Amino acid sequence: EVQLVESGGGLVQPGRSLRLSCGVSGFSFGDYAMSWFRQAPGKGLEWVGFIRSNLHGGTTDYAASMQGRFTISRDDSKGIAYLQVNSLKTEDTAVYYCNRRLKASAFDYWGQGTLVTVSS
Amino acid sequence: QSALTQPASVSGSPGQSITISCTGTSSDVGGYNYVSWYQQHPGKGPKLMIYDVTNRPSGVSNRFSGSKSGNTASLTISGLQAEDEADYYCSSYTSGSTLEVFGGGTKLTVL
């Protein structure tokens, strides 16, 4: 059974940094690109970015609005994907989801999400 | 404001069919056959229902089908069931600076 479990969310003050983790099981992690999304309370889905498999260079792409403060990385030996967010703003408050990128625009397995609340 | 335009809400009775539209541009929906649809129940993560405009992942009911005409993609749900009540989001690959764009979501109510 494929499982993705996000962790690392919580209450954070504006300006601080946070690193979210996404542990996976049930598939060969190194063979797939992994992606992050977020969903602000009561709002729609917003793509953050993704990281290709190391077979495809392990490079990253981000939504234009996420460039600069967001960094996605991966550790294939541990089967974990990471999302680093710097200089957090109140508008970053959201549930953050990781998922497996099957192909362009197709994200076939999702975690349950982790809530990040940015507030003083 | 979302890049793709969806109706805010649709409704239907059990057994009926409904269609949700998703309108973009020639840079996204109209330019690529990389349109997907996601179902999200309250408090849950999204579930992929359709990808590549018409393909269903394994395990997704054949009551769900997708199509596209020009810059508009559509999700049709036939034989509506109570458990279909959820939010539905469309997405598309795009040639813009953001590779993936989404619609604002459509709330489906099963009457």
**Model pLDDT for residues A49-100, shown as the tens digit of each residue:** 999 999 999 999 999 888 899 999 999 999 999 999 999 999 999 999 999 9
Percent of chain A with pLDDT over 70: 100
Instruction: Answer for the pair A33, A50: CB distance below 8 angstroms, yes or no.
Output: yes
At A40, the pLDDT band (50, 70, 90 cuts) reads very high
- Alpha carbon B48 to its chain's center: 9
Contacts with A107 from chain B: Cβ below 8 Å: 36, 38, 46, 48
User: Given A45, A103, A111, which is nearest B102 (Cβ)?
Assistant: A45
Contacts with B2 from chain A: Cβ below 8 Å: 44
Structure tokens at A20: 């979210």
User: Given A46, A104, A112, which is nearest B34 (Cβ)?
Assistant: A104
Mean per-residue pLDDT, A35-56: 95
Q: Residues A98-112: pLDDT tens digits? A: 999 999 899 999 999
Mean per-residue pLDDT, A11-18: 97
Q: Which residues of chain B have pLDDT under 50?
A: none
How does A83-104 read in b/e, with b if 16+ C-beta sit within 10 Å? bebeebeeebbbbbbbbbbbeb
